[in-house]
Structure 1
Amino acid sequence: MSEIASLFVTRLYRAALSERGPAIDPNELAASCNSIAEDDEAGQDWCEENDFPGYTSYASLTDLPWRFSIFKDLVAALDKHVAAFASDLAFDLGDKKLKLEDIWINILPEGGIHTSHLHPHSVISGTTYVAMPEDTSAIKFEDPRLPMMMAAPGRRKDAPESLRNFVYVKPQVGEVLLWESWLRHEVPMNMSEDERVSVSFNYAWGS
């Protein structure tokens, strides 16, 4: 009898942020993100110099949890989500835990995009969602085997999600997504008139 197995599965973690750790008021988090963006002149300058759409604190603020108590609470919740995901992935971490490496704010205006990328030198990356207008863009994940499919035909439109070359995920406000940092992803153009606001982060091991 024939058998078909799934090998080398790519995992995607999705949960409500509130399932683990301290409660985070989404309105307070949104207000904090917007306030930081307005005051962060170095971040604004970096975005302008690098033609980055909207705002990111990635290149300017490295200590959000130290500056703002709500980000300290956010990291406490994320630590628990990441630990749960690491357990699901059967990581052998030894006597060390995965620790937050960096965390930053993203504010994507109408017409803004985040082009395809991955997160080198990290183990787990993710995003929690602060403002997701109804008609804003989802996050797009790419099959990591795609560069090796040199002569493969395309997939049918009705292919199951697990066999598609690209998968789009549109999370809700208050949700967190986690994935292994080598997984390539992007945010297509925001077609909404309203801003798409998120907080992204990386976790590393061995420090």
Structure 2
Amino acid sequence: MTQIESLFVTRLYQSTLNAHGDAIDAGELENTCLSIADDDEAGQEWCEENDFPGYTSYASLDDLAWRFPIFKDVVAALDKHVAAFAKDLEFDLDGKSLSLDSIWINILPTGGIHTSHIHPHSVISGTTYVTMPTDASAIKFEDPRSAMMMAAPIRKKGARKDQRNFVYVEPSVGDVLLWESWLRHEVPMNMSDDERISVSFNYHLSE
């Protein structure tokens, strides 16, 4: 009897931000992100100095949940999503917990990209989507086995998702995506005429 099974699995969690509690107003969250971007001179300078397309608060603001009540609500919702994902991953936390390490805003203009990267020193990373205009970039995930596939042929067009070298996910406004932080990912060029706004975050292991 022939048997073929998958031995190792890369999990991707997808839900809606409001799935675990009180509704967070999408319009208010968008306006807050735009207001922060307008006022954050340090963040604007960092983006300019580092040729970063659009705006990110990654290098300038590390206390969004303290400064803005709506971000406190966002973090409370994300805590529940991350707990659900950690349960699915069957982590043995040995009395420790996963807690928010960082959270930041991304505003990607027309032509902007986020090149391929991972999130070191974190356990779970993710993004929630504030605006996703038509033709805005999906998020692209890379098969973590790529470095070991020295002589592997290319996959057939239409191959099963679990056999592809790259998987593109097209989230909607209000969606939350979570993945283990070692999973390489990127945001291809934004081909929309409008800005793509998202909020990204990392969770790490804490006492």
Deviation at 1:94, TM superposition (A): 2.0
Deviation at 1:134, TM superposition (A): 1.1
Gaps of 5+ in 1: none
Deviation at 1:101, TM superposition (A): 0.1
- Map of 1:9-28 to 2, 5 A cutoff? 9-28=9-28
Instruction: Note if contact 1:21-1:78 (Cα within 8 Å) is conserved in structure 2.
Output: no
- Map of 1:40-189 to 2, 5 A cutoff? 40-189=40-189
Deviation at 1:96, TM superposition (A): 1.8
Counterpart-to-counterpart distance in 1, 2:190 and 2:13: 23
Cα-Cα RMSD: 0.6
Q: Percent identity?
A: 74
Deviation at 1:21, TM superposition (A): 3.1
Counterpart-to-counterpart distance in 1, 2:10 and 2:22: 29
Gaps of 5+ in 2: none
Query: What secondary structure does 2:81 align onto?
Result: helix
Deviation at 1:158, TM superposition (A): 1.7
TM score, norm. by length of structure 2: 0.99
Counterpart-to-counterpart distance in 1, 2:70 and 2:9: 35
Deviation at 1:22, TM superposition (A): 2.9
Deviation at 1:97, TM superposition (A): 1.3
Counterpart-to-counterpart distance in 1, 2:178 and 2:70: 20
1:63-116 alpha-carbon deviations (Å, 9 max, x no partner): 000000000000000000000000000001122210000000000000000000
Query: What secondary structure does 1:10 align onto?
Result: coil
Counterpart-to-counterpart distance in 1, 2:85 and 2:23: 19
Query: What secondary structure does 1:104 align onto?
Result: strand
Amino acid at match of 2:47: C
Aligned residues: 207
Counterpart-to-counterpart distance in 2, 1:21 and 1:82: 14
Runs of 4+ aligned residues of structure 1 deviating over 3 Å after TM superposition are none
